[in-house]
Chains A and B, each alone.
Chain A
Amino acid sequence: MNSRLAAITLNTFREAVRDRVLYNLIIFALLLVASAPLFGQISLGLEKLILVNVGLTSISIFGIIIAIFIGIGLVSKEIERKTLYTILSRPVRRWEFITGKYLGLLLTLVVNAAFMTIGFFVALLVVTRSLTRDDAGLLVAIYFIVLQFFIVTAITLLFSSFSSPVFSAVFAFALVVIGTFAEDLRNFAALTEGITKWLATGAAWLVPNFSALNVIAQVAHGEHIRPQLVLFNTLYALLYSAAAIALAVLIFERRNLK
């Protein structure tokens, strides 16, 4: 990584780490994870199942919220406050700025997810008294959640490169919600005919497929995740986010920053 990219990445990470909103969200998420054993007590024999569902869903949802709320301001805040002026007057390429911002937020989310994972496993240990080899499968689900962060951050940054923060947030949330039902959209496309089929198929391929990246229910029931799916999801998340970032760079390269 070149030094400018590294500097922008680390500064973005530092900005997020010093933002109090982030801590509020993390504390709230950790409380939710910690409270999962209480939910289990009201449903005997299902403690672990509920803990896994609540815990992993919390890591996913709060990570996505953080990605969107920080992501929408990544570019627009720099333009609005004119901090970008002093960046672009240096030997910084615009693609380095966008990529650095992306990697910085991603780093924040990964570190955040790592802390929440520790909290989750501590809660799991409290409930089950011991961890088994099968519990390592939970890490695959968390890895897929991190892959979701790759995509959410990229699409938020894409919207942020040309739109206002409010619209960026609306677009990004909408895509996440639609992406969660991507499989249903594909099934719907398969059932339709004519132009509806074309449109539904196009939309199904265009929106991020978050349903393939959500294996929380499977791992909660102790199902094994196939290595092929891990490989496919990794490639998918990398390509999808690379395409979104490339598009963000293309837009930003041509943008007049008033």
Chain B
Amino acid sequence: MPALEILGLAKSYAVGFGRKTLKTALHPLHLAVEAGEVFGFLGPNGAGKTTTLKLLMGIVFPTAGSARILGHDFHDPEIKRQIGFLPEQPYFYDYLSAPELLDYYAQLCGVAPGDRRKKIPELLERVGLPDAGKTQLRKFSKGMLQRVGIAQAIIHDPKIVFLDEPMSGLDPLGRREIRKLLQELKDQGKTVFFSTHILSDAEALCDRVAVIHKGELRGIGVVEDLQSKTHAKTEVVWHGSHALPSVAHLVSETHATGETVRAVISVQDLDALLERLRQQRAQVISVTPMHGTLEDYFLIHTSEPETAKA
């Protein structure tokens, strides 16, 4: 049973004079996330990532479709005991201290008082805020608030955690710590669904990713598979710059240092290039396949929608 099944969730907003025009924020979305997976939900700003998460959390209501979380209807309040959620750029009750905030959220999830007393200091330590003490959240930096946000999302030990841009506002050190924390959640068998536009985070953490653009799902799969779907290239290095003019039409980029030439070509042109180099009596030093990156895949699917659909 998937931990999360999105069954055609869609959202349109009535806009304009008399609210007669419908603006589609999310086209019917179909998606399944397996239990224990770290799933990245990628897309540029305004792609529909936050709308999807708001729909799943019951903050806005869908125009069509439904979803199942851990086998239950997503509107079932009881299933929310098993859900943790960190909104984008979270803002918490700034008159509370971090322990008070966590205590409040734990109460809302029905965590027993004894467990709360034990878990809160442990969790604050885990997110790197062991000295949060009685300081009110209004005095916290953005990075500290993000850590409190992660802590509130997991205070009740949920089975599935939804994080909207969890790395936003964090410095490199903070990002590394949150990455570590997400890895720990994965090691504990939790399902993690997080939206981001920072692709290196997705590459480093995710088992699978989905790319969404203009409210439409543009691609989904294992990170390596998606990378291989981009146009793979090969780097060839040879000795003998005299051969360069005869192969110039085959290579996309070249860099010559004395007699040594480095060139990047598409895989289908590799044989032709090697044949020409042999004819010119150039000495091939290395042939290295270059993998496409998630960024390549992302850019193809978000900047040129027509090409991507084709």
B64 interface residue, CB < 8 Å from A? no
Report A64-109 residues with CB < 8 Å from chain B CB: 81-93
Digitize B271-304: 1 where CB-to-A-CB distance is under 8 Å, 0 elsewhere: 0000000000000000000000000000000000
Q: How far, in whole Å, are A92 and B107 apart by their CA atoms in the complex? A: 11
A-B CB contact pairs (8 Å), 20 listed:
A4-B110, A14-B96, A15-B93, A15-B95, A83-B92, A85-B59, A85-B85, A85-B90, A86-B85, A86-B105, A88-B57, A88-B59, A89-B162, A90-B109, A90-B156, A91-B77, A91-B110, A93-B77, A256-B60, A256-B61
Closest residue on chain B to residue A19 by CB atoms:
B95
Q: Which residues of A does B touch, CB under 8 Å?
A: 3-4, 6-8, 11, 14-15, 18-19, 81-93, 254, 256-258
Q: A85-B59, A85-B87, A89-B162 are in contact. List 7 more A-B contacts (CB 8 A).
A: A3-B110, A4-B110, A6-B107, A11-B104, A91-B80, A92-B80, A92-B108
Contact present for A82 and B78 (CB under 8 Å): no
- Residue in B58, B81, B87 whose CB lies within 8 Å of A86: B87
- Known contacts: A82-B87, A86-B87. The answer to whether A7 contacts B107 by CB under 8 A is yes
B residues contacting A by CB (< 8 A) are: 54, 57-61, 77-78, 80-81, 83-87, 89-93, 95-96, 104-105, 107-110, 152, 156, 162
Q: Are A83 and B91 in contact (CB under 8 A)?
A: yes
Q: A85-B87, A90-B109, A91-B80 are in contact. Are A11 and B93 (CB under 8 A)?
A: yes
Asked if residues B90 and A82 are in contact (CB atoms below 8 Å), the reply is yes
Tell me if B60 and A258 are in contact (CB < 8 A). Answer: yes
**Cβ of A47 to closest chain B Cβ, rounded Å:** 41
- Cβ contact within 8 Å between A81 and B57: no
What residues on A are CB-neighbors of B107 within 8 Å?
A: 3-4, 6-7
Which one of A18, A83, A91 contacts B109 once the chains associate, using CB atoms below 8 Å? A91
Report how far A211 CA is from B84 CA in the complex, Å.
49
**Chain B proximity of A71: nearest CB distance (Å):** 17
- B136: nearest chain-A partner, CB-CB: A18
CB < 8 Å neighbour of A81 from B60, B80, B91, B152:
B91
**In the complex, what residues of B have CB within 8 A of residue A81's CB?**
91
Residue of B whose beta carbon sits closest to that of A256: B60
| Chain B residues with CB under 8 A of A88 | 57-59
State A88–B85 Cα separation when bound (angstroms).
10
Chain A positions within 8 Å of B80 at CB level: 89-92
Write the chain A residue with the least CB distance to B57.
A89
B166 CB to closest chain A CB, in angstroms? 14
With a CB–CB cut-off of 8 A, which chain A residues contact B90?
A: 82, 85-86
- CB-CB < 8 A to B96: which residues of A? 14
Indicate if the CB atoms of A83 and B57 lie closer than 8 Å.
no
Determine which of B59, B110, B162 lies in contact with A84 in the assembled complex, contact meaning CB atoms within 8 Å. Answer: B59
Chain A residues with CB below 8 A from B109, complex form = 90-91
- Chain A residues in 8 Å Cβ range of B105: 86, 90
Report which residue of A19, A84, A256 has the largest number of chain B beta carbons within 10 angstroms of its beta carbon: A256
How far, in angstroms, from A90 to B87 measured CA to CA in the complex? 13
Return chain A residues, CB-CB under 8 Å to B81: 90-91
Q: Which 5 interchain pairs have the tightest Cβ spacing?
A: A89-B85, A7-B107, A89-B57, A256-B60, A85-B87
Query: Counting chain B CB atoms within 10 Å of each CB, which of A18, A86, A87, A91 scores highest?
Result: A86
